[in-house]
Amino acid sequence: MDQNRELKKAGLKVTHPRMLILDILQDPAHQHICADTVYKLLLEAKTDIGLATVYRVLNQFDDAGIVERHHFEGGKSVFELSNKNHHDHLVCLKCGKVIEFEDDIIEQCQKEIAVKNNMDLTHHSLYLYGECKDGCNENIA
Amino acid sequence: MDQNRELKKAGLKVTHPRMLILDILQDPAHQHICADTVYKLLLEAKTDIGLATVYRVLNQFDDAGIVERHHFEGGKSVFELSNKNHHDHLVCLKCGKVIEFEDDIIEQCQKEIAVKNNMDLTHHSLYLYGECKDGCNENIA
DNA sequence: TCGGTAATGGTAACGATTATCATTTGCAAT
DNA sequence: ATTGCAAATGATAATCGTTACCATTACCGA
């Protein structure tokens, strides 16, 4: 069991809810997922995990660095596994599609801006919003 | 009256609450202000404008393009007058200070990324978070 | 297997924001 | 100036995402 080790490494006890939530996060179909959707998926899977636990576990995963939290427009947090390279996001406001991208030049500029303004940079959030030119199904995910 | 024209141009009736809120937004001391703070200032000014009206008016100003809405970390919206050049924000997580900056290179990169991914860019949000190296009073505004 | 601590689920509570609705106000036409 | 009516307002209930609380349950080392 791989999740097993992942949880222990983070100092978290291996419990049923945490395993199931990690499963969902690891499913490529569920990138950038919100707490509510995780909860719905757990319900559909006929488990009886409470919404409070979903929020708690996602927060713990965030604290442990297992997931990253994002604030896209809309007011709710979305999470993604943090086992990939740093990247930013391009979000389609029509269909909800999320494209990940990396841009070294932007990263470099940000560092310079922080230095210029006498700040220690801890993190940043960059979201580009737009509309797919084609292949957009108009359904917000 | 300057506000008068500003409101009419936006197709908004000139009312007491809207004038007062516009006053507050135009005060350089109140850049990046949240709805709650606007309401508190109105209370201190011995007016009897309701919180609902504050939210309503800020939304109308946003729709009319009079203000811009930002989502800094912390979950609440902050507003600033949009009568200045486009810029992004650098936020100190210790003292709450907000520094505005412009970076043409970053802007250019963003456009290229959108093109590369076949998206029409409508807007973006870029926030840099960090800590002042000095002169930071540790009080969240 | 047992025991204690940590984790859980249900639900109440919370903060930010919006909806509802009866009352008041701006303002165009008189 | 006066009137009429749609638009705006204020009080408050309701909503949404999230957290707090607390009695019960589940991990896991001894």
Looking at the structure, tell me whether residues A113 and A47 fall in a common domain: no
Task: Report whether pLDDT(B141) > 50.
Answer: no
- Give the percent of chain B with pLDDT over 90: 82
- The domain that holds A63 is classified in CATH as 1.10.10.10
Q: Which residues of A touch B103 (CB under 8 A)?
A: 109, 113
Task: Report whether pLDDT(A91) > 70.
Answer: yes
Task: Report whether pLDDT(B30) > 90.
Answer: yes
Is there a contact between A129 and B121 if contact means CB atoms under 8 Å apart?
yes
The nucleotide lying nearest B56 (C-alpha to C1') is: C18
pLDDT one-digit tens code per residue, B35-59: 999 999 999 999 999 999 999 999 9
Is there a contact between B132 and A114 if contact means CB atoms under 8 Å apart?
no
Helix (H) or strand (E) holding B131: strand B119-132
Closest-approach residue (CA) in chain A for B126: A126
Q: Which of B106, B111, B127 to mutate to test the interface with A (most CBs of A within 10 A)?
A: B106
B21 is a domain residue: yes
pLDDT at B94: 81
Nucleotides on chain C that have an atom closer than 7 A to a protein CB are 6-12, 15-20, 25-27
Looking at the structure, tell me whether residues B50 and B66 fall in a common domain: yes
Domain count of the fold of chain B: 2
Instruction: Specify the higher pLDDT residue, A58 or B136.
Output: A58
Looking at the structure, tell me whether residues A75 and A15 fall in a common domain: yes
B136 is a domain residue: no
Please give the average per-residue pLDDT across A81-105, as a whole number.
Answer: 92
Looking at the structure, tell me whether residues B60 and B96 fall in a common domain: no
pLDDT at A37: 97
Looking at the structure, tell me whether residues B48 and B77 fall in a common domain: yes
Looking at the structure, tell me whether residues B64 and B11 fall in a common domain: yes
Strands in A3-118 per DSSP E: 33-34, 67-70, 78-81, 88-92, 98-101
- Sheet with B78-81, edge to edge strand ranges: B33-34, B78-81, B67-70
Distance CA B79, CA A73 (A): 15
pLDDT one-digit tens code per residue, A114-126: 999 999 999 999 9
Please give the average per-residue pLDDT across B113-123, as a whole number.
Answer: 95
Looking at the structure, tell me whether residues B121 and B56 fall in a common domain: no
Looking at the structure, tell me whether residues A59 and A117 fall in a common domain: no
A 47-66 residues with CB below 8 A of B? none
B139 is a domain residue: no
Residue A27's domain comprises 2-81
Task: Report whether pLDDT(B62) > 90.
Answer: yes
Please give the average per-residue pLDDT across A82-90, as a whole number.
Answer: 93
pLDDT at A141: 41
pLDDT one-digit tens code per residue, A9-65: 999 999 999 999 999 999 999 999 999 999 999 999 999 999 999 999 999 999 999
| DSSP helix, strand, coil percent of chain B (3-state; round to 5) | 40, 25, 35
B97 CA, C5 C1': Å apart: 42
Task: Report whether pLDDT(B140) > 50.
Answer: no
Looking at the structure, tell me whether residues A104 and A77 fall in a common domain: no
Please give the average per-residue pLDDT across B99-104, as a whole number.
Answer: 96
The nucleotide lying nearest B75 (C-alpha to C1') is: C16
pLDDT one-digit tens code per residue, A101-114: 999 999 999 999 99
For residue B124, give the nearest of A75, A105, A128 by CB distance: A128
Which residue matches tokens 């991208």? A101
CA terminus-to-terminus distance, chain A: 31
Looking at the structure, tell me whether residues B7 and B76 fall in a common domain: yes
Looking at the structure, tell me whether residues B117 and B76 fall in a common domain: no
- The domain that holds A106 is classified in CATH as 3.30.1490.190
